[in-house]
Structure 1
Amino acid sequence: MTDTARQLLQELMGELQGSGKKYTDPDVCKDHLVDFCPHQLFTNTKVDLGPCDLIHDDRLREAYQNSEDKGRLGYEDAFYDRVQRLSNDLQRKVRRATDRITAEADEQLVNPHREEKEEKAIILDERIKLMIPQIQQLGESGKVDEAYEMFEQMEQMKSDLDALKERIDSINPMFKNEKRLGVCEVCGALLVPNDASKRLDAHNEGKQHQGYIRIQKALEEFKRKGGVIYEGRGSGARSRERHYSRGRRSRHDGGYSNRSRSRSPFSRRDKRGHDGHLPARDNSRRRRRDDRY
């Protein structure tokens, strides 16, 4: 640490000590200390994570970034674990939306009321089939005029059926040259590919889009520096953070090895009887070892 950085840190710590707040306090947002708080990225968007009730103080972040504690308290593990899970959730959302659009093919936009048209076509076809024997029966009974009139009705119905089938297979002219809705791979929002450039620019500059860009940049930078994220471990980062904090306290108190040695006499003393001697079973083992020599 340079003299200038050390002086700056001392000034910051002096201000913070005056306020009585430390970056290790439980009510301070540790994500903000590392880089940013995800809750503040998506305020008032469709993916709003809700408010973060912890303290977000840039002075605390600067003090932490310039301290020897940086990277040693587990804050980075917890932060990158959290943003990686947000990135994973986004990728699942993008896949689901893409699959849904591909399956549905925007049928209601491209060909509205298709099912209704198909149902009408089935009914019309059944009516035509029923009219054929009726026309034959009228002709055989000598009612030629009635048979001819019904025949013309049937021909008109056939013409209507052909036109209906064409409408079933046709695409709405409004959407004939229109592409399907697309999914933004950056933030998961639905987009119209041929939308006006101003709308696309507004989307790209929006809070949701920019928030996920910041998450991806943070992850890429972390991995570029050799960082490893243990995906899918849930609260593992938090448990590592607690474990590391205990480790630091134990080292300040004399280290793990001293604590282990300090326990050994007590564990041995626990094995003794009320008279202060080892149980007879242990004495017999000692005698057997002596006999061998």
Structure 2
Amino acid sequence: MDAMRKQLDVLMGANRNGDVREVNRKYYDRDVCRMYLVGLCPHELFQLTKMDMGPCPKAHSLQLRKEYEEARAKGVDSYDRELEDVIDRLIVECDKKIGRALKRLDDDDAKAAIAISVTEVTQTEELNELSKQIKEKLKDVDKYDLEGKTDFKIQTLEEVEKLRTERAEKQSALLLEAFNKDRASLPQPLPNLPPPPPLPAPAPDARTQEMINEKLKKAEDLGEQGMVDEAQKALEEAEALKKLPARQEPATDQKLRVCDICGAFLSVYDSDRRLADHFGGKLHLGYMQIREKIAELQVWER
């Protein structure tokens, strides 16, 4: 229900049902999201991902954002620091994740990961122009939302999605070009060789083995109590756990690189489609937005 409500909010506005409280709210009220007023609420960035923060508990209103921006221009209020503190924490955590990822690679791979910076490789005038167009289109979306022009808003959102797809594909092509230099130096598989014999299934990791033992103990206890069906179900669950692939650390022979925007692992063997999916994914786009926003806030402070 929350996801459906959010989708309706995007298309028709959060006040689509004519909430009377909206009329009486002021931008400085405690139940209004200050981060949204400044231009970016982290709750909206990672929906339906492993970083999902859930719905924002405070009100989002374009009209109140407009009132805040007018007050800020007059020097009455500024909530920039509050947003900067929040997204700075997100960036610090992401950078720690990137640091941990690099440590899991061997020295040579770590150097290569640092050398192939996603940011540096994908910074071109053409891509910067696409990013600029996307930002302008998103401003148009807000304007149409305020004016109640839902059809124009939906059309513009579709244009934004096309621009993002185009940008992701161009970014993937540039990164693929950089990866190709790595591929050229890697040993190539010999043609027409028979496939290697299948490897034995790896032993479950400690946590999975603990869960398997718990299921087996549960099955034994249920069996002693005469609860045959329940015991059989617990046994089946234990068998299913045994078939789960063991959680493993990234192997250095995959020639992994670390995205310096979101911390995801990328392989030099990835296809252009796989890389495009990465650049167009919510996690990468979300971290890109907060990094751009904090740079913008720091410029305003100067």
Give the TM interval when normalised to the shorter protein. Answer: 0.3 to 0.5
TM-score (norm 1): 0.44
TM-score (norm 2): 0.43
Larger radius of gyration: 1
